[in-house]
Chain A
Amino acid sequence: MRKFLYILTFTFLFSLLFTGAALAQSNTPPTDDEVNVVAHKLYCPVCESTPLDVCPTDACRDWREQIRSMLAEGKSETEILTYFEEQYGARVLAEPPKHGFYWLIYLLPPAIILAGAIILFRSMKEWTTAKVQAPKSNEAPPAKDDYLARMEEEIKKQK
């Protein structure tokens, strides 16, 4: 599933690069959709939690126009994202860049989840094996036939 997503992302990015290059050659202005694909991955520092592609403020409109002209110049998506990150800091990216300190966001949750899973499975193993080693004498002997079992059920129900 994840692998598939990676492949999908790569194909997507690759096709973007390709369209970027094609645009540069053909000189047609980038469409709104092409701008929005890039803008969707950016957040302006003022409008928190609103991705740039849908943000209605004037400032964000200007940013989108900037992306449009950069696309028209033949810049790739990665180049544009890097440009915005360098200009305004890492916070304009939809998620922290994968370098240095920021790795913590990606590594800590899986580590904690893994630790949790190991602890859980170990304790479950302990609980279940403890039961196997325990003497079986206190468990009810298996019912001899169906009738007995049904009787017991009935008695239980009437309690």
Chain B
Amino acid sequence: MYSEFGYGILLLSFFVAIYSVVAAVYGATNKSLALIESARRSMLLMFPLISLSAATLIYLLVNDHYEVSFVYEVTSRSMPTYLKVTAWWGGQAGSLVFWSWLLAAFASAVTIRKWDRDIEFLPWVVVVCSVTLAFFIGLVVFYENPFTRFWSVGGAVEPHMFAPANATLFTAQDGRGLNPLLRHPGMVIHPPMLYLGFVSFVIPYAFAMAALITGRTDDRWIRLTRRWSLWAWLFLSMGLVLGGRWAYDVLGWGGYWGWDPVEIASFMPWLTGTAFLHSVMIQEKRGLLKHWNMILVILTYDLVIFGTFLTRSGVLSSVHAFANSPIGPLFMVFVTTSLVVSIGLVIWRWPQLHSETEMKSMLSREALFLLNNLLFMSILVVCFWGVIFPLVSELFTGQKVTVGPPFYERATAPLFSALLFLMAVAPLSAWGHSTFETLGRAMWKSAAAASVVTAALFFTYTKSIGALIGFFLIALILFVTFQEFWRGARARQKAQDENFFTALFRLMGRNRRRYGGYIIHISMALMAIGILGIEIFQSETQGLLKQGESLNISGYDVKYRELASWDSKGEGVNYTRATLDIYQNGIYIGELNPRIDYYFDSQQNMTIPGNRSTLRDDLYVLLVDWQPVSSDGATFKIFVNPLVNWLWIGSLLFLVGVIFAAWPDKDPVEERTRASRQVSQPSSAD
């Protein structure tokens, strides 16, 4: 009954999406406002419809309806209720519904805004959102139905949506339970964040397409979607960071990023999205790069879909798995079609997208932004090729290969370093024109300070050249950025006769985007400290310890005290927990409890590290193995991850920076800048 209801609603929303596409296209081409309005309303109807269907699914999940195959696969009786709810996105079918639900929410939010002057965009924005929605709901309705139930047909149990002839409903006693790795709080928030980021990039793309189709190719679409892009970027970034934190906390390999194809799949749209956020500024300030911005937003959209395809189609495990599931080819067709159509539109409008001014100097801000774009695209090339190479290899040689961290680290390290360098230089270069002399004059103090810091680190901390280059670049970014804050605030202090902090506060408030951007740069520098620390200075050791014995690493003594193992019947978990005493340079500093959790329902282990985290380093201990009978010997793996905490501190600051930049308000300074450039009309929306 519930299943039929949920499925029926989904089916209905699929048809509503199709109707909305047809009505919007027909309305736009025949200039029928009534039809466009009807399309808009059906678009708005999608959200409550999918919500209703999702609510039904959640009801089934929470109330242990194990006759439903999806519920059986992702939940079990022993799971707490909140995990049963989040199991919604813990499996293929549910996560596609979740994706559609988020997209419907965003599409609704964008359609209820005031359209006034931009009414010509409306039908095409509706078309893009509805086509994407129809595709995803279509996948759910026809191929990955979360409402499919088990039926007993002549002794065999088969999953079907509707009862086959002579079948009775089959209800399993208990479910298989969610993959224990996904029961971590980090995993509860990580996918929604990532999906939010994915989905919200659909909106800028939709406006870009609307601009191309209507021929209104000035930068109106960019101004309308600027904040959307920023929020999208924020969600995607936080999704990536939370994923890293989750990996660090539960995957038990001492790191946060393993260059896993699934990670890279979500990193790729982030790369083009970040390039896009930078290059739209060139279009806004200087009227350049209109083609390029279109291409970037198209790439971002298609990488979002491609990323979902990579993780959802099974193609990563094998090219052949891809062919076996209908989802893979459908995704492929969708990605290719949207790419061809969008690029076709760009070519069609090519002459209208000409630049309004010229590039004047190779060192101007816009030229450096272009370099930044080149670097982001280069990292994308490395990632893309690395992800698809195993498939290419399997196709051409029949041999699968692994493309692991060594490849990516070697290829991207110089590119990331160059990005850091640009982050230090670009804020000092002027729009329009800069020379080595002006740059040098603006930079020498920061460069001198950064050199002093680097020299100090050389004598006290490290002799590694790679690390010293990294630290120099990070220090340079920090000094340059602080100098920019200082200079701006001082100038305002003098001009307005305010005290320094009021001046700084007002300056930042009036130029949110600029100073938000600087905060983000600082956060990136802090994150780079963490990445550098773990990449270059990580040390590890492993050994079998008897009670009372200890392992020594980087000034820490890790002494094995005891091991306890017990079942927690209520949770369906067996815990094996070691207690270790930690000494630093001979002084007792506390205990750590690495453990292994065994989940009975899914028969899987989870390795939870014992972690002692300080600003200087993390002592990260894993319980690898233990002797089952005597329990007096156990193997531990210990990592010392220097500076890694700065990665998480940087991420928090990043959050602050993006929110600061994206917070909706009227921006008088920006209004003036807009007015001074020849934009068709000043804008107040977005």
Interface residues of A (CB under 8 A from B): 1-2, 4-5, 31-33, 36, 41, 43, 48-51, 54, 56, 61, 89-96, 101-102, 104-105, 108-109, 112-113, 116-117, 120, 124-125, 127-128, 130-131, 134, 156-157, 159
Is chain A's binding surface mostly helix, strand, loop or mixed? Answer: helix
**Given A1-B466, A112-B381: A94 and B542 interface contact (C-beta under 8 Å):** no
Chain A residue with the shortest CB-CB distance to B543: A32
Residues A50 and B370 in contact in the complex (CB < 8 Å), given A102-B401, A124-B362, A128-B362: no
6 more CB-based (< 8 A) A-B contacts, given A2-B414, A91-B402, A128-B358: A51-B404, A54-B622, A90-B402, A91-B400, A96-B389, A128-B360
Closest to A108 in B: B385
Query: Contact: A4 with B465, CB < 8 Å?
Result: yes
| Cross-chain contact A109 with B359 (CB below 8 angstroms) | no
Closest Cβ of chain B: how far from A58's Cβ, in Å?
10
Total number of residue pairs linking A and B with CB closer than 8 Å? 137
Q: Is B252 an interface residue (CB 8 A)?
A: yes
Q: Which B residues, 328 to 386, have Cβ-Cβ distances below 8 Å to chain A?
A: 358-362, 367, 370-371, 374, 377-378, 381-382, 385-386
Residue of A nearest to B407 (CB): A95
Q: Across the two chains, which residue of chain A brings its CB closest to B606?
A: A56
A32 touches which of B252, B390, B401, B542 (Cβ 8 Å): B542
B65 within 8 Å of A (CB atoms)? no
Residue numbers of B with Cβ under 8 A of A are 252-254, 258, 260-262, 316-317, 358-362, 367, 370-371, 374, 377-378, 381-382, 385-386, 389-390, 392-393, 396-397, 399-407, 410-411, 413-414, 417, 465-466, 469, 540-544, 596, 605, 607, 622, 624-625, 635, 637, 672, 675-676
The answer, among B253, B393, B635, for a CB contact under 8 Å with A54, is B253
Do B404 and A94 touch across chains, with their CB atoms under 8 A apart? Answer: yes
B385 touching A109 by the CB < 8 A rule?
yes
* CB nearest neighbor in A for B622: A54
The distance from the CB of B421 to the nearest CB of chain A, in whole angstroms, is 12
CA distance A102 to B394 in the complex (A): 11
Among A51, A125, A134, chain B packs the most CB atoms within 10 A around the CB of A51
The answer for the CA separation of A108 and B97 in the assembled complex, in Å, is: 38
Residues of B within 8 A of A125 (CB): 362
Q: Which of A89, A127, A128 has the most CB of B within 10 A?
A: A127
Are B466 and A128 in contact, with the CB atoms below 8 A?
A: no
Contacts of A104 in B (CB 8 A): 389, 392
> Are B403 and A105 in touch, CB under 8 angstroms?
yes
Identify the closest chain A residue to B386 (Cβ). Answer: A105
A1, B469: Cβ atoms closer than 8 Å: yes
Per the bound structure, the CA–CA distance linking A157 and B34 in Å amounts to 43
**Given A32-B635, A109-B382, A116-B374, also A56-B252 (CB < 8 A):** yes
Determine the distance from Cα of A156 to Cα of B673 in the docked complex, in whole angstroms.
9
Q: Which residues of A contact B399 (CB under 8 A)?
A: 89-91
Tell me which of A61, A91, A109 has the highest count of chain B C-beta atoms within 10 A of its own C-beta: A109
- A126 and B164 CA atoms in complex are apart in Å by 69
In the complex, the answer to whether B607 meets A32 with C-beta atoms within 8 Å is: no
* Chain A residue with Cβ nearest B370: A120
Task: Decide: B358 and A130 in contact? CB cutoff 8 A.
Answer: yes
A49 near B381 with CB under 8 A, answer: no
- Contact between chains at A105 and B389 (CB < 8 Å): yes
Q: Which residue of A lies closest to B260 (CB)?
A: A49
- Interface CB pairs A-B, < 8 A, 23: A1-B414, A1-B417, A4-B466, A5-B410, A31-B543, A32-B542, A33-B543, A49-B258, A50-B253, A56-B596, A89-B400, A94-B405, A95-B401, A95-B402, A95-B403, A96-B389, A96-B402, A96-B407, A105-B386, A105-B403, A117-B374, A124-B370, A128-B360
